[in-house]
Protein backbone atom coordinates (compact mmCIF):
# COMPACT_ATOMS: atom_id res chain seq x y z
CA UNK A 1 0.00 0.00 0.00
CA UNK A 2 1.47 3.36 -1.07
CA UNK A 3 1.79 6.46 1.11
CA UNK A 4 -0.83 8.21 -0.99
CA UNK A 5 -3.32 5.39 -0.33
CA UNK A 6 -2.72 5.71 3.38
CA UNK A 7 -3.21 9.46 3.28
CA UNK A 8 -6.41 9.24 1.25
CA UNK A 9 -7.70 6.72 3.74
CA UNK A 10 -7.95 9.51 6.27
CA UNK A 11 -10.30 11.58 4.12
CA UNK A 12 -14.08 11.30 3.99
CA UNK A 13 -15.08 8.08 2.20
CA UNK A 14 -17.62 7.74 -0.57
CA UNK A 15 -18.79 4.16 -0.45
CA UNK A 16 -20.83 2.70 -3.30
CA UNK A 17 -20.96 -0.19 -5.80
CA UNK A 18 -21.52 0.53 -9.46
CA UNK A 19 -19.76 -2.36 -11.22
CA UNK A 20 -21.95 -5.40 -11.70
CA UNK A 21 -21.10 -8.17 -14.17
CA UNK A 22 -24.52 -9.78 -13.85
CA UNK A 23 -23.45 -12.85 -11.87
CA UNK A 24 -22.06 -11.20 -8.72
CA UNK A 25 -24.29 -11.63 -5.71
CA UNK A 26 -22.05 -10.10 -3.01
CA UNK A 27 -19.15 -7.62 -3.30
CA UNK A 28 -17.01 -6.36 -0.42
CA UNK A 29 -15.95 -2.70 -0.37
CA UNK A 30 -12.16 -2.71 -0.13
CA UNK A 31 -10.54 -0.12 2.15
CA UNK A 32 -7.01 0.13 3.50
CA UNK A 33 -6.89 -1.63 6.85
CA UNK A 34 -10.71 -1.90 6.75
CA UNK A 35 -10.76 1.69 8.05
CA UNK A 36 -13.96 3.48 7.08
CA UNK A 37 -13.90 7.17 8.02
CA UNK A 38 -16.40 8.50 10.55
CA UNK A 39 -18.96 10.50 8.55
CA UNK A 40 -18.40 8.56 5.32
CA UNK A 41 -21.23 8.62 2.80
CA UNK A 42 -22.74 5.30 1.90
CA UNK A 43 -24.79 5.09 -1.30
CA UNK A 44 -27.01 2.05 -1.71
CA UNK A 45 -28.75 1.90 -5.07
CA UNK A 46 -31.98 0.23 -6.08
CA UNK A 47 -31.53 -3.51 -6.31
CA UNK A 48 -28.83 -3.45 -3.61
CA UNK A 49 -28.44 -3.79 0.14
CA UNK A 50 -25.38 -2.95 2.24
CA UNK A 51 -24.36 -5.09 5.22
CA UNK A 52 -22.15 -3.34 7.80
CA UNK A 53 -19.87 -5.87 9.54
CA UNK A 54 -17.76 -4.94 12.55
CA UNK A 55 -15.12 -7.38 13.81
CA UNK A 56 -16.91 -10.29 12.11
CA UNK A 57 -20.31 -9.38 13.57
CA UNK A 58 -23.17 -7.96 11.50
CA UNK A 59 -23.94 -4.48 12.85
CA UNK A 60 -26.60 -3.22 10.45
CA UNK A 61 -28.23 -3.72 7.04
CA UNK A 62 -28.92 -0.68 4.85
CA UNK A 63 -31.66 -0.66 2.19
CA UNK A 64 -31.43 1.64 -0.87
CA UNK A 65 -30.63 5.25 0.04
CA UNK A 66 -27.86 7.72 1.03
CA UNK A 67 -26.41 7.38 4.54
CA UNK A 68 -23.92 9.24 6.69
CA UNK A 69 -21.94 6.69 8.70
CA UNK A 70 -21.85 8.13 12.20
CA UNK A 71 -22.31 6.60 15.62
CA UNK A 72 -25.64 8.32 16.10
CA UNK A 73 -27.18 6.44 13.15
CA UNK A 74 -25.42 3.18 14.00
CA UNK A 75 -26.90 2.33 17.40
CA UNK A 76 -25.85 -1.28 17.24
CA UNK A 77 -22.27 -0.31 16.46
CA UNK A 78 -22.30 2.31 19.24
CA UNK A 79 -23.36 -0.33 21.72
CA UNK A 80 -20.67 -2.68 20.58
CA UNK A 81 -17.85 -0.15 20.70
CA UNK A 82 -19.13 2.10 23.55
CA UNK A 83 -18.26 5.17 21.48
CA UNK A 84 -19.36 8.64 22.46
CA UNK A 85 -20.73 11.16 19.96
CA UNK A 86 -17.46 13.01 19.73
CA UNK A 87 -15.35 10.05 18.64
CA UNK A 88 -13.94 10.76 15.21
CA UNK A 89 -11.69 7.75 14.53
CA UNK A 90 -12.32 5.54 11.51
CA UNK A 91 -14.58 2.53 11.81
CA UNK A 92 -12.67 -0.75 11.84
CA UNK A 93 -15.35 -2.47 9.82
CA UNK A 94 -16.32 -3.97 6.47
CA UNK A 95 -19.20 -3.23 4.12
CA UNK A 96 -20.65 -5.94 1.87
CA UNK A 97 -22.90 -4.95 -1.00
CA UNK A 98 -25.56 -7.55 -1.72
CA UNK A 99 -27.36 -7.64 -5.05
CA UNK A 100 -31.10 -7.89 -4.43
CA UNK A 101 -32.07 -8.34 -8.07
CA UNK A 102 -33.44 -11.54 -9.52
CA UNK A 103 -30.98 -13.96 -11.08
CA UNK A 104 -32.74 -15.56 -14.03
CA UNK A 105 -32.16 -18.46 -16.41
CA UNK A 106 -30.24 -20.56 -13.90
CA UNK A 107 -30.04 -24.18 -15.06
CA UNK A 108 -30.96 -27.35 -13.23
CA UNK A 109 -31.11 -30.96 -14.38
CA UNK A 110 -30.96 -34.55 -13.15
CA UNK A 111 -27.50 -36.11 -13.19
CA UNK A 112 -28.94 -39.61 -12.86
CA UNK A 113 -32.32 -40.91 -14.10
CA UNK A 114 -35.29 -40.82 -11.74
CA UNK A 115 -36.85 -44.26 -11.23
CA UNK A 116 -40.64 -44.47 -11.11
CA UNK A 117 -43.43 -46.91 -11.89
CA UNK A 118 -45.55 -45.87 -14.85
CA UNK A 119 -49.05 -47.40 -15.29
CA UNK A 120 -48.43 -47.99 -19.03
CA UNK A 121 -44.68 -48.64 -19.39
CA UNK A 122 -44.04 -50.18 -15.97
CA UNK A 123 -40.71 -49.38 -14.25
CA UNK A 124 -39.30 -46.38 -16.13
CA UNK A 125 -36.26 -44.10 -15.91
CA UNK A 126 -36.77 -40.39 -16.54
CA UNK A 127 -34.49 -37.40 -16.93
CA UNK A 128 -35.63 -33.82 -16.43
CA UNK A 129 -34.16 -30.35 -16.77
CA UNK A 130 -35.27 -26.73 -16.70
CA UNK A 131 -34.49 -23.26 -15.34
CA UNK A 132 -35.19 -21.32 -12.16
CA UNK A 133 -35.13 -17.74 -10.90
CA UNK A 134 -33.97 -16.71 -7.44
CA UNK A 135 -32.89 -13.67 -5.44
CA UNK A 136 -31.44 -12.84 -2.03
CA UNK A 137 -34.30 -12.50 0.46
CA UNK A 138 -32.41 -11.86 3.70
CA UNK A 139 -28.93 -10.33 3.18
CA UNK A 140 -27.76 -10.93 6.75
CA UNK A 141 -28.73 -14.63 6.69
CA UNK A 142 -27.21 -15.10 3.25
CA UNK A 143 -23.97 -13.46 4.35
CA UNK A 144 -23.81 -15.46 7.55
CA UNK A 145 -24.83 -18.87 6.14
CA UNK A 146 -23.29 -18.88 2.64
CA UNK A 147 -20.91 -16.03 1.81
CA UNK A 148 -18.81 -15.76 4.96
CA UNK A 149 -15.75 -13.61 4.21
CA UNK A 150 -15.76 -14.09 0.43
CA UNK A 151 -14.93 -10.71 -1.11
CA UNK A 152 -16.78 -11.45 -4.36
CA UNK A 153 -19.45 -14.12 -4.37
CA UNK A 154 -21.05 -15.19 -7.69
CA UNK A 155 -23.93 -17.43 -8.67
CA UNK A 156 -21.51 -20.12 -9.88
CA UNK A 157 -20.44 -20.74 -6.28
CA UNK A 158 -23.92 -21.72 -5.12
CA UNK A 159 -25.59 -23.14 -8.22
CA UNK A 160 -24.29 -26.63 -7.54
CA UNK A 161 -25.88 -26.76 -4.09
CA UNK A 162 -29.13 -25.24 -5.30
CA UNK A 163 -29.23 -27.69 -8.21
CA UNK A 164 -28.90 -30.63 -5.82
CA UNK A 165 -31.77 -29.32 -3.70
CA UNK A 166 -34.01 -28.79 -6.73
CA UNK A 167 -33.29 -32.21 -8.25
CA UNK A 168 -33.88 -33.99 -4.96
CA UNK A 169 -37.22 -32.30 -4.32
CA UNK A 170 -38.34 -32.57 -7.93
CA UNK A 171 -37.55 -36.30 -7.95
CA UNK A 172 -39.86 -36.76 -4.96
CA UNK A 173 -42.56 -34.69 -6.63
CA UNK A 174 -42.54 -36.53 -9.95
CA UNK A 175 -42.27 -39.97 -8.36
CA UNK A 176 -45.24 -39.33 -6.05
CA UNK A 177 -47.40 -37.51 -8.62
CA UNK A 178 -48.46 -40.78 -10.33
CA UNK A 179 -48.88 -38.87 -13.60
CA UNK A 180 -48.44 -41.16 -16.64
CA UNK A 181 -45.29 -40.47 -18.63
CA UNK A 182 -47.26 -39.60 -21.76
CA UNK A 183 -49.23 -36.98 -19.80
CA UNK A 184 -46.26 -35.25 -18.15
CA UNK A 185 -45.92 -32.64 -20.91
CA UNK A 186 -49.43 -31.40 -20.16
CA UNK A 187 -48.57 -30.98 -16.47
CA UNK A 188 -45.22 -29.14 -16.62
CA UNK A 189 -46.73 -25.99 -15.10
CA UNK A 190 -48.29 -27.88 -12.19
CA UNK A 191 -45.11 -29.84 -11.55
CA UNK A 192 -43.05 -26.64 -11.60
CA UNK A 193 -45.40 -24.83 -9.22
CA UNK A 194 -45.48 -27.75 -6.79
CA UNK A 195 -41.70 -28.16 -6.90
CA UNK A 196 -41.25 -24.40 -6.37
CA UNK A 197 -43.21 -24.57 -3.12
CA UNK A 198 -41.12 -27.51 -1.89
CA UNK A 199 -37.74 -26.03 -2.82
CA UNK A 200 -38.53 -22.49 -1.65
CA UNK A 201 -38.91 -23.64 1.96
CA UNK A 202 -35.41 -25.06 2.02
CA UNK A 203 -33.80 -22.15 0.19
CA UNK A 204 -35.13 -19.76 2.84
CA UNK A 205 -32.66 -21.31 5.26
CA UNK A 206 -29.91 -19.80 3.10
CA UNK A 207 -31.54 -16.37 2.97
CA UNK A 208 -32.66 -16.94 -0.64
CA UNK A 209 -36.05 -16.68 -2.33
CA UNK A 210 -37.02 -18.98 -5.18
CA UNK A 211 -39.19 -16.91 -7.51
CA UNK A 212 -40.02 -19.53 -10.12
CA UNK A 213 -38.98 -23.00 -11.18
CA UNK A 214 -39.72 -24.10 -14.75
CA UNK A 215 -39.76 -27.66 -16.08
CA UNK A 216 -38.65 -27.55 -19.71
CA UNK A 217 -38.50 -31.25 -20.52
CA UNK A 218 -38.92 -34.70 -19.03
CA UNK A 219 -37.39 -37.35 -21.31
CA UNK A 220 -37.38 -41.13 -21.50
CA UNK A 221 -34.27 -43.27 -22.12
CA UNK A 222 -33.15 -43.30 -25.79
CA UNK A 223 -34.13 -46.94 -26.35
CA UNK A 224 -37.67 -46.30 -25.07
CA UNK A 225 -37.97 -43.19 -27.25
CA UNK A 226 -36.91 -45.22 -30.31
CA UNK A 227 -39.57 -47.84 -29.53
CA UNK A 228 -42.18 -45.10 -29.22
CA UNK A 229 -41.04 -43.61 -32.55
CA UNK A 230 -41.49 -46.98 -34.26
CA UNK A 231 -44.93 -47.29 -32.72
CA UNK A 232 -45.82 -43.82 -33.99
CA UNK A 233 -44.57 -44.72 -37.47
CA UNK A 234 -46.81 -47.77 -37.54
CA UNK A 235 -49.77 -45.58 -36.62
CA UNK A 236 -48.91 -43.10 -39.37
CA UNK A 237 -48.48 -45.81 -42.02
CA UNK A 238 -51.84 -47.36 -41.26
CA UNK A 239 -52.61 -50.07 -43.88
CA UNK A 240 -49.37 -52.00 -44.38
CA UNK A 241 -50.62 -53.64 -47.61
CA UNK A 242 -51.29 -50.27 -49.26
CA UNK A 243 -48.01 -48.93 -47.94
CA UNK A 244 -46.18 -51.89 -49.50
CA UNK A 245 -47.86 -51.22 -52.83
CA UNK A 246 -46.86 -47.59 -52.62
CA UNK A 247 -43.24 -48.47 -51.83
CA UNK A 248 -43.18 -50.91 -54.75
CA UNK A 249 -44.52 -48.28 -57.13
CA UNK A 250 -41.94 -45.78 -55.89
CA UNK A 251 -39.12 -48.29 -56.41
CA UNK A 252 -40.32 -48.96 -59.96
CA UNK A 253 -40.55 -45.24 -60.76
CA UNK A 254 -37.07 -44.56 -59.35
CA UNK A 255 -35.53 -47.44 -61.33
CA UNK A 256 -37.29 -46.43 -64.55
CA UNK A 257 -36.13 -42.81 -64.24
CA UNK A 258 -32.50 -43.80 -63.77
CA UNK A 259 -30.84 -42.28 -66.85
CA UNK A 260 -27.62 -44.24 -66.36
CA UNK A 261 -29.38 -47.57 -66.48
CA UNK A 262 -30.04 -47.80 -70.24
CA UNK A 263 -33.52 -46.41 -70.87
CA UNK A 264 -35.98 -49.22 -71.62
CA UNK A 265 -33.68 -51.79 -70.10
CA UNK A 266 -33.57 -49.80 -66.90
CA UNK A 267 -37.35 -49.55 -66.93
CA UNK A 268 -37.63 -53.29 -67.32
CA UNK A 269 -35.12 -53.90 -64.57
CA UNK A 270 -36.92 -51.41 -62.34
CA UNK A 271 -40.24 -53.12 -62.98
CA UNK A 272 -38.73 -56.50 -62.22
CA UNK A 273 -37.14 -55.20 -59.06
CA UNK A 274 -40.37 -53.56 -57.99
CA UNK A 275 -42.36 -56.75 -58.59
CA UNK A 276 -39.78 -58.82 -56.78
CA UNK A 277 -39.76 -56.38 -53.89
CA UNK A 278 -43.54 -56.36 -53.76
CA UNK A 279 -43.70 -60.16 -53.83
CA UNK A 280 -41.02 -60.47 -51.17
CA UNK A 281 -42.60 -57.89 -48.88
CA UNK A 282 -46.07 -59.25 -49.53
CA UNK A 283 -44.85 -62.73 -48.68
CA UNK A 284 -43.15 -61.43 -45.54
CA UNK A 285 -46.24 -59.52 -44.43
CA UNK A 286 -48.78 -62.26 -45.19
CA UNK A 287 -49.31 -65.03 -42.68
CA UNK A 288 -48.17 -68.49 -43.83
CA UNK A 289 -51.02 -70.76 -44.98
CA UNK A 290 -51.84 -73.61 -42.63
CA UNK A 291 -50.58 -76.99 -43.99
CA UNK A 292 -53.22 -79.79 -44.16
CA UNK A 293 -52.81 -82.62 -41.69
CA UNK A 294 -51.34 -85.91 -42.94
CA UNK A 295 -53.75 -88.45 -44.43
CA UNK A 296 -54.83 -91.18 -42.05
CA UNK A 297 -53.08 -94.51 -42.38
CA UNK A 298 -54.86 -96.98 -44.66
CA UNK A 299 -53.56 -100.04 -42.87
CA UNK A 300 -50.35 -102.00 -42.50
CA UNK A 301 -50.99 -105.65 -43.48
CA UNK A 302 -48.60 -108.53 -43.40
CA UNK A 303 -49.35 -111.29 -45.96
CA UNK A 304 -48.17 -114.93 -46.03
CA UNK A 305 -46.53 -115.64 -49.38
CA UNK A 306 -44.75 -118.89 -50.12
CA UNK A 307 -44.41 -119.64 -46.44
CA UNK A 308 -42.88 -116.26 -45.53
CA UNK A 309 -44.35 -113.00 -44.22
CA UNK A 310 -44.43 -110.12 -46.71
CA UNK A 311 -45.26 -106.54 -45.84
CA UNK A 312 -46.42 -104.35 -44.40
CA UNK A 313 -48.77 -103.48 -47.29
CA UNK A 314 -51.47 -100.82 -47.42
CA UNK A 315 -55.00 -101.42 -48.67
CA UNK A 316 -54.18 -100.37 -52.24
CA UNK A 317 -51.32 -102.89 -52.42
CA UNK A 318 -53.57 -105.66 -51.09
CA UNK A 319 -56.15 -104.89 -53.79
CA UNK A 320 -53.43 -105.15 -56.46
CA UNK A 321 -52.26 -108.46 -55.01
CA UNK A 322 -55.82 -109.70 -55.10
CA UNK A 323 -56.20 -108.73 -58.76
CA UNK A 324 -52.96 -110.53 -59.59
CA UNK A 325 -54.12 -113.64 -57.81
CA UNK A 326 -51.39 -113.42 -55.22
CA UNK A 327 -53.93 -112.69 -52.45
CA UNK A 328 -56.75 -115.23 -52.20
CA UNK A 329 -59.55 -115.83 -49.75
CA UNK A 330 -57.52 -118.42 -47.99
CA UNK A 331 -54.31 -116.39 -47.77
CA UNK A 332 -53.22 -115.74 -44.22
CA UNK A 333 -52.97 -112.06 -43.17
CA UNK A 334 -52.16 -110.15 -39.99
CA UNK A 335 -52.16 -106.52 -38.77
CA UNK A 336 -51.74 -104.80 -35.44
CA UNK A 337 -54.63 -105.53 -33.09
CA UNK A 338 -55.29 -109.08 -34.35
CA UNK A 339 -54.75 -112.05 -32.07
CA UNK A 340 -53.04 -114.07 -34.80
CA UNK A 341 -52.90 -114.88 -38.50
CA UNK A 342 -56.29 -115.27 -40.13
CA UNK A 343 -57.62 -116.04 -43.56
CA UNK A 344 -58.22 -112.95 -45.61
CA UNK A 345 -61.85 -113.96 -46.19
CA UNK A 346 -62.41 -114.01 -42.40
CA UNK A 347 -61.20 -110.41 -41.90
CA UNK A 348 -64.12 -107.99 -42.21
CA UNK A 349 -61.79 -105.02 -43.03
CA UNK A 350 -60.70 -106.82 -46.23
CA UNK A 351 -64.15 -107.78 -47.46
CA UNK A 352 -64.19 -104.90 -49.92
CA UNK A 353 -61.04 -106.19 -51.61
CA UNK A 354 -62.72 -109.43 -52.68
CA UNK A 355 -66.10 -107.85 -53.54
CA UNK A 356 -65.08 -107.43 -57.19
CA UNK A 357 -63.18 -110.73 -57.36
CA UNK A 358 -64.92 -113.98 -58.40
CA UNK A 359 -64.95 -116.76 -55.87
CA UNK A 360 -62.50 -119.62 -56.39
CA UNK A 361 -63.48 -122.25 -58.94
CA UNK A 362 -64.92 -125.40 -57.50
CA UNK A 363 -62.75 -128.45 -57.59
CA UNK A 364 -63.56 -131.17 -60.10
CA UNK A 365 -65.85 -133.87 -58.75
CA UNK A 366 -67.53 -131.42 -56.26
3-state SS, residue 96: strand
Q: What is the distance, to the nearest Å, from the Cα of residue 274 to the centroid of all Cα atoms in its chain?
A: 39
Give percent above pLDDT 70 in the chain. Answer: 72
Residues 6+ apart with CB under 8 A from 316: 298
CATH of the structural domain 103-223, one choice from 3.90.79.10, 3.30.479.30, 3.40.190.10, 3.90.1150.10: 3.30.479.30
Give the pLDDT confidence score for residue 256 in this predicted structure: 72
Average pLDDT across the chain, whole number: 77
Give the pLDDT confidence score for residue 99 in this predicted structure: 94
How many contiguous H segments (helices) and E segments (strands) does the chain have? 9, 17
* Averaged pLDDT for residues 293-304: 66
* Averaged pLDDT for residues 321-347: 81
* Residues 205, 208, 212: CA angle, nearest 5 degrees: 120
What's the rounded Cα separation, in Å, for the pair 136 and 207?
A: 6
Give the pLDDT confidence score for residue 85 in this predicted structure: 38
Are the beta carbons of 309 and 300 closer than 8 angstroms?
A: no
Exposed, middle or buried, 347 (CB in 10 Å: 0-12/13-18/19+)? middle
One DSSP character per residue, 131-146 reads EEEEEES-HHHHIIII
* Averaged pLDDT for residues 99-115: 90
Locate the domains of the chain by residue range. 3-99, 103-223, 239-284, 301-350
For residue 254, pLDDT beyond 60: yes
Q: Which of 241, 275, 237 is nearest to 255 (CA)?
A: 275
- What confidence tens digit (pLDDT) does each residue in 150-166 have? 889 999 999 999 999 99
Regarding pTM above 0.95, the answer is: no
Amino acid sequence: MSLWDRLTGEFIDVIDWTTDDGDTMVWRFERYGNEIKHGAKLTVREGQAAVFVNEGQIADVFPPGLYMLETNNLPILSTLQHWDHGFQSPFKAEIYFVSMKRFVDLKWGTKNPVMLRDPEFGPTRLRAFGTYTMRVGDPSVFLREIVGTDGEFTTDEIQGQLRNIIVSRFSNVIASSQIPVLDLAANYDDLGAFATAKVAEEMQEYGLELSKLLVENVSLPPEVEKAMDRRTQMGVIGDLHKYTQFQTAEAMRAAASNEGGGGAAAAGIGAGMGMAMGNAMGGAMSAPAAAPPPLPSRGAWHVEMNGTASGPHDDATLAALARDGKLAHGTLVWTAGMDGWQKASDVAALSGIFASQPPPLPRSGD
